[in-house]
Chains A and B, each alone.
Chain A
Amino acid sequence: MSGGKDDMLLEVTDLSMRFALRSAPFKPKRHVHAVNGINIRLRQGETLGIVGESGCGKTTLARCILRLLEPTGGSIKLNGRDITHAKGRALREARRDMQFVFQDPYASLDPRMRAFELVREPLDALTDLPRKQADERAIALLEKVGLTAAQARQYPHQFSGGQRQRIGIARALALNPKLVLADEPVSALDVSVRAQILNLMADLRAEFGLSYIVISHDLAIIEHVCDRVAIVYLGRIVEQGAVETIFNAPKHPYTEALLAAIPDPDPQQRRRAADIQGDLPNPSAPPPGCAFHPRCPKATALCKQQAPEPRMLDGREVSCHHAV
Chain B
Amino acid sequence: MGLLTRFIFQAVPTLIGAVTILFLLLRMIPGDPAQAMLGADATAVDLARMRHELGLDQPIWVQYGLYLRDFLTGNWGNSIVSKTPALDRVLEALPDTLMLCGMAIVIIIGISLPAGVLSAVRRDSWVDYGVSVAVFLLMSMPQFWLGLLLLLVLSYWLDWFPIFGTGDAGDPLSILHHLVLPALTLAAGFLGLVTRLTRSSMLEVLGREYVRTARAKGLREGVVIVKHALRNALLPVVTVIGLTMGQLLGGAVIVEVVFARAGVGTMIWDAILQRDYPQVQAAVAVFAALFITTNFLTDLLYGLLNPRIKI
Contact = CB atoms under 8 A, between A and B. Distances in A.
Interface of A: 66, 68, 91-92, 95-96, 99-100, 102, 104, 107-112, 121-122, 125-126, 155, 157, 171, 175
B307 interface: yes
Nearest to B229: A110
B232 A110 contact: yes
B218 A96 contact: yes
Interface of B: 208-210, 212-220, 223, 228, 231-232, 305-308
Contact of A125 (B213, B219, B232, B305): B219
Contacts of A122: 217-219
Given A95-B217, A125-B218, A125-B223, A112 B209 contact: no
B123 to A, nearest CB: 15
Contacts of B212: 68, 102, 108
B contact patch SS? helix
Nearest to B219: A125
Contacts, number: 60
Given A110-B228, A111-B307, A111-B308, A171 B217 contact: yes
B213 A155 contact: no
24 contacts: A68-B216, A92-B219, A95-B216, A95-B217, A95-B218, A99-B217, A100-B216, A102-B209, A102-B213, A104-B209, A107-B208, A107-B210, A108-B210, A108-B212, A108-B213, A111-B210, A112-B305, A112-B306, A121-B214, A121-B219, A122-B217, A125-B217, A125-B219, A125-B220
A157 B308 contact: yes
- Top 7 A-B residue pairs of the complex, sorted by shortest distance between their CB atoms: A95-B218, A107-B209, A108-B209, A92-B218, A110-B210, A155-B307, A122-B217
Nearest to A103: B209
B220 A92 contact: yes
Contacts of A91: 218
B208 A155 contact: no
B217 A121 contact: yes
Contacts of B306: 112
B307 to A, nearest CB: 5
A68 B228 contact: no
A125 B220 CA distance: 8
Contacts of B214: 110, 121
A43 B146 CA distance: 68
Contacts of A100: 216
Contacts of B219: 92, 121-122, 125
